[in-house]
Amino acid sequence: MSLFALLGTLAQIALTVLALAAGTMLVLGLAVAAVVWLSGSRPTRQPHRS
């Protein structure tokens, strides 16, 4: 196995890991945003106390 083939394989693995991490963060961010929006869109269930 040549050095360039090894570097190409490592680059593909790194790009795949980065893409999976970015997708996971995107899904988590959307889920958190949805939860915050749903909990914030119903102010009548929780009386506001200051």
- Residue 45 belongs to a domain: no
Please give the share of the chain, as a percent, with pLDDT higher than 90.
Answer: 70
The domain in which residue 34 lies consists of 1-40
- Residue 22 belongs to a domain: yes
Considering its fold, how many domains does the chain have in total? 1
pTM of the complete model: 0.57
Q: How far apart are CA 40 and CA 46, in angstroms?
A: 10
Q: How far apart are CA 35 and CA 31, in angstroms?
A: 6
Alpha helices in the chain (DSSP H): 3-40
Q: How far apart are CA 25 and CA 15, in angstroms?
A: 15
CA atoms within 13 A on the CB side of 40: 6
Average pLDDT over residues 2-7: 95
- For 20-29, write each residue's pLDDT tens digit: 999 999 999 9
Q: How far apart are CA 21 and CA 13, in angstroms?
A: 12
- Residue 50 belongs to a domain: no
- Residue 48 belongs to a domain: no
